[in-house]
Structure 1
Amino acid sequence: MARKQKFDFFGAMEHLADDALKSSNLLNEIIKDFDTDKLSEQSKIINKIETDGDDDVKEIMHELYIAFITPIDREDIVQLVDKLDNIIDGINGLTYEFHYLDLKEMRPGTDEFMDLIVEAVEAVQYSVREFSHFKNSKSLAKNVDQANHIESLGDNLYTEQLSILFREKDIDPIDVIRWQKVYGGFERVLDACEDCADVITGLVIKNS
């Protein structure tokens, strides 16, 4: 009987990171050409990525349970997988917010948030790809630092946009509530990217 091929844990984590980047690019398309008539179908694509990601996480957890040897400690894989899953969940959650908050158009500044999110997820995706050979990587630390730097820029943008929102005259109070939630969703995705970068930093130190 053929022997089962050894499960590629690093490859599985890279696949989750790729899906996170794919989701961020799709969300970018939604926001930069916002059309309520297209939103439902566009959201389904991101939701499918998130659902498939949940299945991938379950597979990784099963393989961790039955594996005799893993490339790094089991709890470290669980931690990194969880942080990657949080990024995808956060992006998917934003599309649901667009629906239930009944948004009709994007406010000025949303493009800037989305640019930061795509850049942060790109930095995370590259960092995860480099992680399997971190001892020889010349760019891993740079990309981890980039994700952290972008999160700081996101904090500044969040504060700036909230300030504009609350100072805007003649705005519907419901719109204030709507956009406060949306801006919070953007910030959660950026926080998730920073969390993932911080985990990678810790794992590099631990395994060096």
Structure 2
Amino acid sequence: MIRKKKYDFFKAMQHLADDALKASGILTEIINNYDPAKFSQDCEMINKIESDGDEDVKKTMNELYVAFITPIDREDIVQLVDKLDNIIDGINGLTYEFYYLNIQELRPDTDKFMNLINEAVEAVQQSVAEFSHFKNSKMLVKNIDNTNRIESLGDELYTKHLRTLFCEEENDPLTVIRWQKIYGGFERVLDACEDCADVMGGLVIKNS
């Protein structure tokens, strides 16, 4: 009788992290070469990554339900998978916000927001890559700290541009509403990265 191959939960989480980085990279390219006429089409790959990610999460939850032994506590796997999925959902959500808010022209530093997101997602992806051997990893804590540092830079940029939007240069109320939502979307993705990094940091302490 052929035994079913043991499900690799760490590999499944790595796949989600890789997909998050892929989605972030695609959106970064779209923002850097912004064309509102092509935006919806350009984002189709991100939408597919998000849909595939949902299926990956379902598969992992099903495998978790039937697994006899897991590498770390089940609830910890659930939590980390959920945090990784939130990053992908946040990136995909940004594509819909740009589309339904009908953003025709980017404001200054939009690319800086996206570059920070890409750096934060990459730091998370590198953390997940190290997580399966966290007891011997020299880079995991550095990557977690780096994610938190990037999120703090994002907070500063978010606060600066909200103030500019409301207080200094924008008189069109529709533009204010649109960009308040866009900036909020950027902030949510950065927060999702920080949340994921913090979960990994807590799990390292718990399992050490």
Q: TM-score range by the shorter chain?
A: over 0.9
Aligned length: 208
Report the equivalent of 2:192: 192
Superposed, 1:39-54 pairs within 5 Å as: 39-54=39-54
Superposed, 1:149-160 pairs within 5 Å as: 149-160=149-160
Q: Which moved more, 1:113-122 or 1:160-169?
A: 160-169
Counterpart-to-counterpart distance in 1, 2:170 and 2:140: 48
SS of the equivalent of 1:104 reads coil
Counterpart-to-counterpart distance in 1, 2:172 and 2:32: 23
Report the equivalent of 1:26: 26
Do the aligned partners of residues 2 and 91 (structure 1) sit closer, same or farther apart at CA in structure 2, a change above 3 Å counting?
A: same
Contact map agreement 2:170 2:176 (CA 8 A) in 1:
no
Q: Deviations over 1:51-71 (max 9, x none)?
A: 000000000000000000000
Counterpart-to-counterpart distance in 2, 1:58 and 1:29: 29
Counterpart-to-counterpart distance in 2, 1:17 and 1:86: 11
Q: Tell me the TM-score normalised to structure 1 length.
A: 0.98
Superposed, 1:160-199 pairs within 5 Å as: 160-169=160-169, 171-199=171-199
Q: Deviations over 1:114-151 (max 9, x none)?
A: 11101100000000000000011011000000000111
- RMSD between aligned residues: 0.8
Report the equivalent of 1:70: 70
Contact map agreement 2:7 2:63 (CA 8 A) in 1:
yes
SS of the equivalent of 1:36 reads coil
Counterpart-to-counterpart distance in 2, 1:134 and 1:52: 27
Counterpart-to-counterpart distance in 2, 1:168 and 1:92: 30
Equivalent position amino acid for 2:44 in 1: K
Q: Deviations over 1:16-73 (max 9, x none)?
A: 0000000100110111111012111111110000000000000000000000000000
The unaligned stretches of length 5 or more in structure 2 are: none
> Could you list the runs of 4 or more consecutive aligned residues of structure 1 that deviate by over 4 angstroms after TM superposition?
none
Report the equivalent of 2:115: 115
Question: How much does 1:2 deviate?
Answer: 1.2
Counterpart-to-counterpart distance in 2, 1:110 and 1:103: 12
The unaligned stretches of length 5 or more in structure 1 are: none
Counterpart-to-counterpart distance in 1, 2:183 and 2:7: 39
Report the equivalent of 2:206: 206
Counterpart-to-counterpart distance in 2, 1:170 and 1:134: 48
Counterpart-to-counterpart distance in 1, 2:60 and 2:182: 31
Q: Which moved more, 1:15-24 or 1:31-40?
A: 31-40
